Structure 1
Amino acid sequence: MRAPGDDETGGRGLLLVEALAHRWGVEQRAGGIGKTVWAELKAPDIVAEPVERQVAAVMVRSGQRVWVRGEWRAVRTVRSERYATGGLAVALGLDEGPALRVPAAEPLAVRGERDVSPPA
């Protein structure tokens, strides 16, 4: 976290997260691109996070499950690659079958490791 001066126009994001969140943290992305800042807020009538969520492929981590070819597959490894055209791809090593190679921004259905029922 930074301690920006009164006249600075940036550097307050994590200060706001710290002030508003019950818990928060930072994780490096497994694909080697950037980081993810997460936060938990306490609020009345908060709705539980859905069991399944859509995330960009670049945010998938090993230990999660992704919906692939009609079933949930465990992600064993994650690495980033460059397409010959210069775009960024993510290669997911799965528990069965060939690796899944998708554009980094491709949305994927993701769940935690234990939940394996089909998506809604």
Structure 2
Amino acid sequence: MTAAKPKPVQTVPVQGDEAAAAICDVIRRIPRGWVATYGQIAAMAGLPRRARLVGHVLQNLGTGTKIPWHRVVNARGEISASPSRNGGDALQRQRLEKEGVEFDDNGRFNLERFRWRD
């Protein structure tokens, strides 16, 4: 029995998908050193209650993307950890710390302090 071939990773066509484009446009506006939640991004993109869609769009971005995906966090003031991110959790924390976001010993940060308000 041979192992199944993994499915190729699909990238989100930002130009062709209006919802993905709206999400990416909002994420591009998050300033350095600030974060926004998945739900916040969805609402600002005109897609209220579609936080999971934001996560799906981010999960399907190409590796060379210029979109600051690392600035999108969960509503608990944490990075949303997942084994499917292949080390992306550590990279996200590293990038946020480089921008000045301060984490406590439990891997959390003060969301009210670092939340971007457009």
Q: What is the TM-score with the length of structure 2 in the denominator?
A: 0.26
Q: Which has the higher helix share?
A: 2
Q: Larger radius of gyration, structure 1 or 2?
A: 1
Greater fraction of residues in strand: 1
Higher relative contact order (CA 8 A, sep 6+): 2
Q: TM-score, normalised by structure 1?
A: 0.25
